[in-house]
Structure formats: structure tokens, C-alpha cells
Structure 1
Amino acid sequence: MQVSHTSAAVSAAFDDPNLIAQAGLVPVMRLAERCGLPRLVTEKVKLTRVTNGAGAAADAKVTSIVAGMVAGADSIDDLDVLRHGAMPAMFAGIRAPSTLGTFLRAFTHGHALQLHAVHRRFLGALAAHTPLLPGADQMAFIDVDSTHKRVYGRTKQGAEYGRFKGIRTLHPLLATVCTPQSRPVIAGVRMRRGKAADSRGAPKFVSEALTTAAEAGCTGTRILRADSQFYNAGVIAACRRAGAHFSITTGMNPSIKRAVLSIPGRAWQQITYPTAMPDPDTGELISDAEVAEIPAYTAFAGRKKSERVTARLIVRRVRDLAKPAVVGEQGELFPVWRYHPFFTDNPAPMLRAEREHRHHAVVEQVIADSKASALAHLPSGHFNANAAWLTLWAMAYNLLRATGALTSAFHAKATTATLRAHLIHVPARLARSARRITLHLPHNWRWQHAWTHLFDTVHAPPEPG
């Protein structure tokens, strides 16, 4: 491909007031309105004690930030992406980045909790209006994990040297919900200081995530999955109070190690991974593993009787390729294994339960998405402003996932970057006639039928009842 004219015959001017660069925001924000986002903000977020008018029109400010994040903004200054061309004619109430920054800095911890309430109810509304979580009435997985986000500047509140030497971070905690047929959506987020322990506040957070999942239509079997940092009695007790199952990696503490080494050799069943995985030490691809279980393992035996839990201990083992085989007493070579145990009351057969637990890694896709979009920066020096920014990103992420689910089967499982490229970053020219606005979009746009289906669906009259 090459430019069809010489450079002398081409000119450029930013002078058309009727163009917009993100026409996909029209159906997306209409969906947000139909799911009650502005109303929820008005009802829940009360910045009445804030001076200088920062708390006024909170609904317009929240929707402006969410729309900017949907369009790809990853900083407060980037929210200016909403103020170009004909955007003010298409959307009312767009706020300047300086106004939105002042609004975020006005948040206290209590206001951040109010925003969490908006997020939970907004997710429930999205699930009710779109096929966001198909099969949730049968089975749903709630995945909990934490991540560290590097930040810069010594005045950023809460930033500390934590897990990574010499790197200042904040430490978000998040929970996602998915079904066997859907991509994950975000059930809850919390911002924490950099040195916060991985499991700090986990039992309460797990309880809220399980409640949010139920409000989003997850009325069937719910299974909480987590890594070893969440293997504690409080998290399991929260699952049982909510009527949910658990599947939590345990690590190899002395009690677990004794139990694993007591498994007889004939109990191990061989499995083959559908896709090979690299060995963490050597980089060689691993396709085979073995799985066994202890049907009744009692965890937390050192605690009082009411806090002990008896359930299944399922163990996967793979060859440790970094270590040579061990020579036995009679000259046989015995392989060295790397063990991966997890504790669960999942009633599924062993191999299925192991496969479902391994799928917990899907939460890493959401974390990677966050750091490639709105969480590329935590934009404020104020801790509660960054906490609000994190929650607003969760809303924007769920809104994009609901948009994809409403568009087509392909877009229901597409990545966020794909959704933006296909549905959001569509240029359009506005034409006005008889008090109506018509969007003129590019001819031969590859995804025009999917975009039109989305547009027609969200603008159709609501179904009666």
C-alpha cells in the first residue's frame, strides 16, 4: 500500500466540527444509561461535604470518566479524548480533565465505598440486560487475586516498597466472575498500600464478591478459586457462609507435604495438557502430568475444632526437568517431581475438578488488560482518588464486556483491545435534519453489521414488563 498522491498534493486540517473519532461510544453509553449508571451514581455517591463544587453533578463526572476509559484513556489528561469535533453535540455533560481530576481528589474512603456499591449494582443491571454471564444459573467461578502496580513519585499516598525490591507499588485486590461459556467480568476491586499482605481483608472481600456474583445472576453452583496466599480459615469460612464451594491452592507446608508423600504410587492418574506449558526453570515444554487425591484431608488442624475443615486435597505433579533423576537402592532411576496441591470441596470428579482449578489463571488476563489500559497509570497522588479510579476502570471493563456480549458471539469472547478496534474507534460524521442526528460511518467497515446490530439493540424500545 502506498499514498496515492505525492506529498505536495496532500494537505491536512483539523477543522471539521461534525466529525467524531469514537462513534462506538454512542451505543455503549446508551447501554450504560439503560442499565441505570447515572441514576445509581446520583443515589449512592454523596460528596455533599466537599467544597468548591467538586461533588456537584457526580453522575456526569462518573460517566465522563467511564466513557473515557472505554475509549482507551489511561490518565486524567487522556480523558480529553471526549472533547473533540462533534462530541459535545452527541453527548451532554462532558467534563474537562481538570474538573474530573478535582472530582477524584475529593473522594474519601467512605466515598470510595459508595462507588463500590454503584459498581456492584451496575454489574447486576448489565447481567440482567445482556447475556453477560451465560449459564450462570448452572455454574459460575469466582476468582480472587492480587497484583502490584508500579508507581512513580515519592508523594503518592500508599506507595511502598513491597514484594519487588527497589520498586514502589500499590497493591490492588480484585475478584472476577466467569462461567464455562463466558469471559470473566469484575465482581469487586480494592486498592491497598504497597506493603499490604496478599490476604489482608480477604475474608470480607470474598464475602462481598460472592454476594455480588449472586446479584449478577449466579444462582447455580458457585466455586471460589484462589492462589495459596488466600489459603486460610477465614476465606473458607466466608465461602461456606455464602453457600459456595472453594478451590484454593495450598502450597507445600509441612502438613501438606506429609500428606502428599503418603499417596501411593498406584493412585496417580496420568493426564495430557491440551497445550504444552513451559517448565518455569528450564523453559522446556511439558505436556504430561499426573493427578491424585486424598478424599478427606483436615486443614488447619492446629486451630480450634470449629475452624478445622475436612475436604479433598487434590495434587497435580509434573516432572522437575531441572533436577536429574534419583538413583534408588537397586539402581533404578526415579524421577523428581514438582507438586501442585489444592484444597477443595468441589463435588466434580477429580480430573474435572483439577482442570477447573487450573483455569483460575484466567484472572491473569483481566490483570494484564488493566495494566494495558486504564491502570497503565494510577494517575493521582491521592490514595482515595486512585481507589476511585480503580473502581471506575472495573465499571468500564464490565461495560465493554457487556457491549461485546450484546454484539455477537465472536465479540462476547473478544479481548478489550479487539472490542475497541472493532466497535469503539469508529469515525463518524454527524448530519442534522428535522431535529434528528444521523451518524455517517465509513463505507465497507469490516464490522458494520455487528456495530449496527449493537446500535439497533440498545436504541430499541425497552421490552414491556
Structure 2
Amino acid sequence: MQVSHTSAAVSAAFGDPNLIAHAGLVPVMRLAERCGLSRLVTEKVKLTGAKNGAGAATAAKVTSIVGGMTAGADSIDDLAMLRHGAMPAVFGGIRAPSTSGTFLRAFTHGHALQLHAVHRRFLAEPAAHTPLLPGSEAMAFIDVDSTHKRVYGRAKQGAEYGRFKGIRILHPLLATICTPQSRPVIAAVRMRRGKAADSRGVPKFVSEALATAREAGCTGTRILRADSQFYNAGVIAACRRAGAHFSVTTGMNPSIKRAVHSIPHDAWQQISYPTAVPDSETGELISDAEVAEIPQYTAFTGRKKADRVTARLIVRRIRDLAKPAVVGEQGKLFPVWRYHPFFTDQPAPTLQAEREHRHHAVIEQVIADSKAGALAHLPSGQFHANAAWLTLWAMTSNLLRAAGCLTSAFHTKATTATLRAHLVQVPARIARSARRITLHLPHNWPWRQAWTHLFDTVHGPPG
């Protein structure tokens, strides 16, 4: 591709008052209105002080931030992208970045909890009116994981040297919901200080995520999946109180090692992956493994009897290519294995349970999406402002996911970056006639049909 004219024949000038760069915000923010975002914020978030205003002003600031994140803002200053061209003619109540920054800095721990309540209800609304979680009445998976977000300001509250030497981090906690047919949506988020242990606050967080899943229509089998840092009695107890199953990686502690080495040789089942999968430790691609099960394994035997849990221990083993085979008594070479056990009470057959547990990795896609979007930065020096920013990102992510579900099969499973590029970042020129505004969009836009379907759906009568 090359410019069709010489540089001398091309000029540029800013100043057209009838253009907007993100016409896709019109149907997406209309969807947010129909799902009750402003109403929920007005009802639940009670900020005080003259600068923050009443409930309607709070709702306008929240929707301005959500709109900016939807368009691609990853810092407070980036929210200025909403204040260009004809945007004031299409949207009312757009707030300046400085106003949004002051608003976020007014948050306390209690206000962050109020915003969590908004997020929880805001997920339930699109889940009820869009195909956001197809098949959730039969089965849903709730995945929990933490991530480390690097920050640079020495004065940033909560930032500490954590797992990575010499790097200041904050330590967010996330939970997602997905079904076998859907991409994950975000059930809950928590901001934590950098040195917070992986399992800090997780039992309560799991309880909230499981309750959110039920409110979002997950009335069938719910299975919590988590890595080994969440293998503790509190998490298992939270699952059982909520009537959910669990599938948690255990790691290789001494008790697990004894159980694994007691498995008979003929109990291992060979499995082959249709496509090679990366090894969780080395990153090498593997295409086959062996799986075995201990039907009755009692975990947490060092705790009081009421905390002990008996369930299935399923173990996957793969050859450790980094170590040479061991020579046996008869001179035969025996491979060295690496073991990946997980503890579960879900009723699926062994191989199916193992396959479904490995799909816990879908939460890593959400984390990658976050760091390519609004969580590229945690923009404030104040901890609770960043906690609010994290929650608003979760709401924005779910909103984009719901919008994608109203367009096409491709966009139902697309990444948020793709949804933003195809459906939101569409330029348009506005024209006014008879008190109506018409958006004139580009000719031959490749995703015209999907965009039009979204626009017509959210502006049509409620379904």
C-alpha cells in the first residue's frame, strides 16, 4: 500500500465539527443504558462532597470512564478522546479527564465495595438479555487467578516489591465465568497490595464469584477451577457452601507425592492431544501424556476433622525431556515423569475432567486482554482509585463482550481488542435533519453487517 498522491498534493487540517472517531460508542453505550448502568450507579454508589455531586453526576462520571475505556483509553488523560468533534451532539454528560480523576480519588474502601455491587448487577442484566453465557443453565466454569501489575511510581499506594526482584507491583485478583460454548466474562475483581499472598482473601472472593455466577443465570452445574496457590481448605469450603464443585491444582506436597507414587503402573491411561499444548512449566509443546485417578483422597489431614475433604485426585504425567531416562535393574531405560495433580469432586469421567481442568487457562486470555487495554496502566497514586479503575475495566470488558454477542458468531468469541477495532473505532460524520441525527459511516466497512445488527438491536423495542 502506498499514498496515492505525492506528499506535496496531500494536506491535513483539524477543525470539522461534524466528525466523530468512535461511532460504535453509540450502540455500545445505548446497550449500557438498556442494561441499567446509570440507574445502578445512582442507586448504589454514594459519594459525598460538593465536588462529586449527587447520584446523577456520579452516574455521568462512571459512564464517561466506561465510554473512554470502551474506546481504548488506558489512562485518565486518555479519557479526553471523548471530547472531540461532534461527540457533544451525540452524547450528553461527558466529563473532562480532570473531573474523572478527582472523582476516582474520592473513592474509599466502602465506595469500592459499592462499585463491586454495581458490577455484579451489571453482569446479570446483559446475561439475561443477550447470549452472553449460552448453556449456563447446564454447566458453567468459574476460574480464579491473580496477576501482577507492574507500577512505576514510588508514591503509588500499595505498590511493593513482590515476587519479581526489583519490580514494584500491585496484585489484582480476578474471577471469570465461561461455558463450553462461550468466551469468559468477568465475575469479580479485587485490588490487593503488591506483597499480598496469592491466597489472601480468596475464600470470600470465591463465595462472591459463585454467587455472581448464579445471578448471571448459571443455575446448572458450577465448577470452580484454580491453580495450586488456591488449594486450601477455605476455598473448598466456600465451594461446598455455595453448592458448587471444585477442580483445584494441588502441587506436589509430601502427601500428594505419596499418593501419586502409590498409583499402580497399569492404572495410567494414555491420552493424545488433537493439537499440541504448551507445558505449564517449560513452555515446550507436548502432544501426549498419561492420566490416572485416585478415587478417594483425603486432603487437609493436618487440620481438624471438619475441614478434611475426601474427593478425587486426578494426575496427569508427561515425560521430563530435560532429564535422562533412569536405568533399571535389568538394564532397561525408564522415563522420568513430571506430575500435574488436581483435586476435584466434579462427576465427569477421568479424561473429560482432566481436559476441562486444563481449560482453566482461558482466564489467562482475560488477563492478557486487560494488559492490552485499560489495565496497561493503573493511573492513580491512590490505592482505592486504582481499585475503582480495575472494577470499571471489568464492567467495560463485560459490556464489550455483550455487544459482541449481539453481532455475529465471529465477534462472540473475538478478543476485546478486535471488538474495539471492528465495532467501536468506526469514524462517522453526523448530519442533523428534522431534530434527528444521522450517522454517515464509511463505505465498504468490512464489518458493516455486524455493526448494523448491533445498532438495530439496541435501538429496537426491548426483547
TM bucket normalised to smaller: over 0.9
Give the secondary-structure state (helix, strand or coil) at the position aligned to 2:134.
coil
Say if 2:44 is the partner of 1:9: no
Counterpart amino acid of 2:108?
Answer: T
| Superposition map of 1:161-172 within 5 A | 161-172=161-172
SS of aligned partner of 2:295: strand
Which TM-score applies when normalising by structure 2? 0.98
| Aligned residue runs from structure 1 range 103-142, under 5 A | 103-142=103-142
CA apart distance, 1:181: 0.2
Residue of structure 2 equivalent to 1:94: 94
Q: Is the 8 A contact 1:54 1:103 kept in 2?
A: no
Letter aligned with residue 218 of structure 1: C
CA distance in 2, matches of 1:206, 1:437: 46
Distance between the aligned counterparts of 1:54 and 1:164, measured in 2? 41
What is the distance in 1 between the residues matched to 2:282 and 2:378? 35
- TM superposition shift of 1:53: 3.6
Q: CA deviation at 1:450?
A: 0.7
User: d(CA) in 2 for partners of 1:202 and 1:365?
Assistant: 21
Spell out, residue by residue over 1:208-262, the C-alpha distance to the aligned partner (whole angstroms, 9 max, x if none).
0000000000000000000001000000000000000000000000000000000
Judged with a 3 Å threshold, the aligned counterparts in structure 2 of structure 1 residues 141 and 77 are, in CA distance, closer, same or farther, namely same
SS at match of 2:89: helix
Which residue of 2 is the match for residue 149 of structure 1? 149
Q: Which amino acid aligns with 1:336?
A: V
Task: Tell me, in whole angstroms, the C-alpha distance in 2 between the residues paired with 1:242 and 1:279.
Answer: 32
Aligned AA (2:201): G
How much is the aligned-residue C-alpha RMSD, in angstroms?
Answer: 1.1
1:307: Cα distance to partner?
0.7
Alignment partner, residue 51 of structure 2: 52
Distance in structure 2 (CA, Å) of the matches to 1:245 and 1:2 = 57
Map of 1:328 onto structure 2:
328
Counterpart Cα distance in 2 of 1:55 and 1:234: 40
2:299 equivalent to 1:299: yes
CA distance in 2, matches of 1:281, 1:375: 26
Contact 2:52 2:58 in 1 (8 A): no
C-alpha distance in structure 2 between counterparts of 1:55 and 1:189, whole Å: 26
The offset of 1:279, in angstroms, is 4.8
Take 1:271 and 1:262, find their aligned partners in 2: how far apart are those partners?
21
- For the residue of structure 1 that corresponds to 2:234, the secondary structure is helix
What are the ranges of 5 or more consecutive residues in structure 2 without an aligned counterpart? none
Q: How big is each residue's C-alpha offset from its partner over 1:87-124, in whole Å with a ceiling of 9 and x where there is no partner?
A: 01000000000000000000000000000000000000
SS in 2 for 1:174: strand
> Does the 8 Å contact 1:189/1:394 carry over to 2?
yes
Residues 276-302 of structure 1, C-alpha deviations (whole Å, 9 max, x = no match):
134567665321100000000000011
Report the equivalent of 2:181.
181
In structure 1, the residue corresponding to 2:174 is in which secondary structure?
A: strand
Q: What is the aligned partner in structure 1 of residue 393 from structure 2? A: 393
The residue type paired with residue 186 of structure 2 is I
Q: Is the 8 A contact 1:279 1:321 kept in 2?
A: no
Aligned sequence identity (%): 86
Alignment of 1:215 with 2:184, yes or no, is no
Alignment-mate amino acid for residue 366 of structure 1: V
Amino acid aligned to 1:395: M
**Equivalent-residue separation in structure 2 for 1:239 and 1:406 (angstroms):** 32
SS at match of 1:407: coil
Q: 1:75 to 1:347 in 2, by over 3 A?
A: same
The aligned runs of 1:216-231 (5 Å cut-off) are 216-231=216-231
2-side partners of 1:73 and 1:6: how far apart? Answer: 34
Distance (whole Å) between structure 2 residues aligned to residue 283 and residue 315 of structure 1: 19
TM-score by length of structure 1 reads 0.98
Judging changes above 3 Å, is the alpha-carbon distance between structure 1 residues 45 and 344 closer, same or farther for their aligned structure 2 residues? same
- Of stretches 53-62 and 12-21 in structure 1, the one that deviates more from structure 2 is 53-62
1:410, 1:434 → 2: CA distance?
37
Measure, in 2, the Cα distance between the counterparts of 1:283 and 1:135.
Answer: 32
Unaligned runs of 5+ in 1: none
Query: How do residues 242-257 of structure 1 correspond to structure 2 at under 5 angstroms?
Result: 242-257=242-257
3-state SS in 2 of match to 1:287? strand
Q: 1:279 to 1:135 in 2, by over 3 A?
A: closer
CA distance in 1 between counterparts of 2:444 and 2:42 reads 41
Following superposition, the deviation at residue 7 of structure 1 comes to 1.5
Within 2, Cα distance between the matches of 1:342 and 1:281?
Answer: 15
What does residue 451 of structure 1 align with?
Answer: 451
Contact 2:291 2:315 in 1 (8 A): yes
Q: Does structure 2 retain, via aligned residues, the 8 Å contact 1:24–1:425?
A: yes
